[in-house]
Amino acid sequence: MLYSSFLRSVGPGMIWSYGPETSAIAVGSTGGAPDIPGHPQVPSLGWDELERDFLLASRFCDDLYIHSLEGCVEHGFFERISSIGWKEQVGPPDSARTASGIRGLLTAALWTSAHPVLTLGGVVASACVWSRARRR
Which pLDDT tens digit goes with each residue over 2-33? 777 777 889 899 999 999 999 999 998 877 66
Residue 58 has pLDDT above 70, yes or no: yes
Residue 38 has pLDDT above 90, yes or no: no
Closest CA to 65 of 99, 22, 100: 22
Q: What's the predicted TM-score (pTM) here? A: 0.77
Integer Cα distance of 43 and 10 in angstroms:
15
State the average pLDDT for the chain. 89
